[in-house]
Chains A and B, each alone.
Chain A
Amino acid sequence: MDGFTEYAGHSHERLCRTAYLLTRNWATAEDLVQTALVKAWTVWRRIEGDPDRYVYRIIVNTHASWWRRRWRGEVPTEVMPEGSAGRDLAKTVTDREALWAATGALPGQQRAVVVLHYFGDLTHQQVADVLGCSLGTVKKQLSRALARLRVDSTLHDPDMEEAVR
């Protein structure tokens, strides 16, 4: 089918990595991407413009559906693991593991918004298009997620500052 093989070939790895960040399981991520690509294949000629929007949308919706049907045991935690003070390398690693754990505890839609924006590099409007919701909803979900993760968008990364000095 025109363009599908090329799209699947060059997008598969990126889609799997995105799906992994949503599911936290590589086998599940691969299943999810394969399911999304099957659905995309069946409507390929009707997809206008960038297929990413549609494929991401299937991935997020299918994951939500699977989560509801199969993964009810996953309970988001209200409090993320606490890190210690300082910013040496070992602590940075520990802190980032805590941040990783915390992203896994985000509610489904907040996790999707964060992953699509910070890993998929989608703009707020593109995330809204993928999720089929308003720009305001995306901003609200993102704001809540960042607050929960204690990510301050006004803070600058010391490593980055040092690197550009």
Chain B
Amino acid sequence: MTRYTENDLRTVFADHSKDGPVPPPRLELIVRRGRRARLRRRAATGAVLTGAAVVVAGVGGFLPDVNRNTTGSASGLSSRATISAKPSGTIRGMNGETLSVIHSETHRTMGAPVTVVYRPTSVSTGYSIRCTDPKAWVVIHHVRTGEADFGRCNGSGDGPDSENDALSVAPGWLDEPQTLKIWVFPADAPIAEGHWKDDGTPNPDVPLNNPYASCKKANRKLGLCDGKFIQDVVHVKPERLAAVVKRRQGEPWTVKVYDRPAGS
């Protein structure tokens, strides 16, 4: 049986990493994306200030009633819980730490935003979203940090989909409730193919720097590729797709917010 030395390991890593095509950093793109995230953060913060009343939950806090049925706000910006589940259990975070579910909601709303408000207990706040249909699309806007996530609703059963740390959270993170704005769209929503295939491999037909590369008919102003929204647009402006899909009731999906106990 072959045994290896630590030097074998260093050599293997050096050999396999030396021949890759490493282009220079795309600084303009990095700064543009960074600025866009900041702009989103400002816009999102403004939306919250003018938004509807929200449900606040946290450790030892209010747990929404099962089967509580409320409607969207007068502004039409968000809908409220249709079904809520009592959170339970613990999971392992991305760094091996124990995280507890501090808030959980289950909804059937598709094609319209759902606002989820929770009170974090540490800077390690994470979340997961699981859908009955794993092919459903999900967009999550983190209202105060300006971060946004987008993809198929097919996370694995264990662990959070994302998790914060001391630097990723917004200033004053623990001082007030935090808000996620979530859109779930049906699997057949008009969304164009993106840079990532469903199996997680890059799609050579849709390069990162040109999502319109394979479109027969592109409408860059509206963000459409052959009549479907490009994924970058859905990611940043999900309300455009929502206006097409329109609010509907679908299969249930659940969002869970995880955190470390306060002071840990």
**Segment from B22-30, B48-56, B219-227, B236-244 that makes contact with A:** B22-30
Q: Interface code A1-43, partner B: CB below 8 Å = 1, 0 otherwise?
A: 0000100110011001110110001111111011001110111
B202 touches A28 (CB 8 A): yes
**B34 pairs with A151, CB closer than 8 A:** no
B2 x A83 contact (CB < 8 A): yes
Q: Which residue of A lies closest to B195 (CB)?
A: A31
* B5 pairs with A151, CB closer than 8 A: yes
Contact with A along B90-118 (1 / 0, CB 8 A): 00001111000000000000000000000
Main secondary structure, interface of A, reads helix
Contacts of A118 in B (CB 8 A): 6, 9-10, 13
19 contacts between A and B (CB under 8 A): A9-B24, A18-B17, A20-B17, A21-B16, A28-B202, A30-B23, A54-B167, A61-B165, A64-B94, A65-B94, A69-B161, A82-B1, A96-B8, A98-B2, A150-B3, A152-B4, A155-B3, A155-B5, A157-B6
Indicate if the CB atoms of B20 and A157 lie closer than 8 Å: no
User: Is B262 in contact with chain A by the CB < 8 A criterion?
Assistant: no
For A145-162 the 0/1 string (1 means CB < 8 A from B) is 000011111011101100
A159 and B195 CA atoms in complex are apart in Å by 44
Q: Is B208 at the interface (CB under 8 A from chain A)?
A: yes
- Report the nearest A residue to B129, measured CB to CB: A69
Binding stretch for chain A, among B57-65, B72-80, B150-158, B246-254: B150-158
Q: Which residues of B contact A27 (CB under 8 A)?
A: 202
Indicate whether A105 reaches chain B with its CB closer than 8 angstroms: no
Q: A155 → chain B, closest Cβ, in Å?
A: 5
- Residues of B close to A98: CB separation below 8 A: 2
Residue in A closest to B11 when the chains form the complex, CB atoms = A96
Q: Cβ of B86 < 8 Å from any Cβ of A? A: no
Q: Does B132 contact A (CB under 8 A)?
A: no
> What chain B residues lie within 8 Å of A46 (beta carbons)?
167
Residues of chain A within 8 A of B26, CB atoms compared:
34
Contacts of A131 in B (CB 8 A): 95-96
Instruction: Give the nearest-CB partner of A61 in chain B.
Output: B94
- Evaluate contact between B9 and A37: CB separation under 8 angstroms: no
Tally of contact residues, A, Cβ under 8 A: 71
Please indicate the chain A residues that have their CB under 8 angstroms from the CB of B67 in the complex.
none
Q: A68-B156, A118-B6, A133-B95 are in contact. Are A26 and B27 (CB under 8 A)?
A: no
- List chain B residues, Cβ under 8 A from A54: 167
Q: Are B155 and A68 in contact (CB under 8 A)?
A: yes
Known: A5-B27, A21-B17, A95-B4. A13 touches B22 (CB 8 A): yes
Q: Give Cα A128 to B188, complex, Å.
A: 43
Give the distance in Å from the alpha carbon of A138 to the alpha carbon of B156 in the complex.
24
Q: List B contacts of A41 (CB < 8 A).
A: 30-31, 34
A119 touches B151 (CB 8 A): no
CA A157 – CA B152 in complex, angstroms?
47
Give chain B residues whose Cβ lies under 8 Å from the Cβ of A28: 202
Instruction: Say yes or no for A135: interface residue by CB 8 A criterion.
Output: no
Q: A46-B167, A132-B165 are in contact. Are A16 and B22 (CB under 8 A)?
A: yes
For B214, what are the chain A residues with a Cβ–Cβ distance below 8 Å? none
User: In residues 45-101 of chain A, which contact B (Cβ within 8 Å)?
Assistant: 46-47, 54, 57-58, 60-61, 64-73, 82-85, 95-96, 98-100
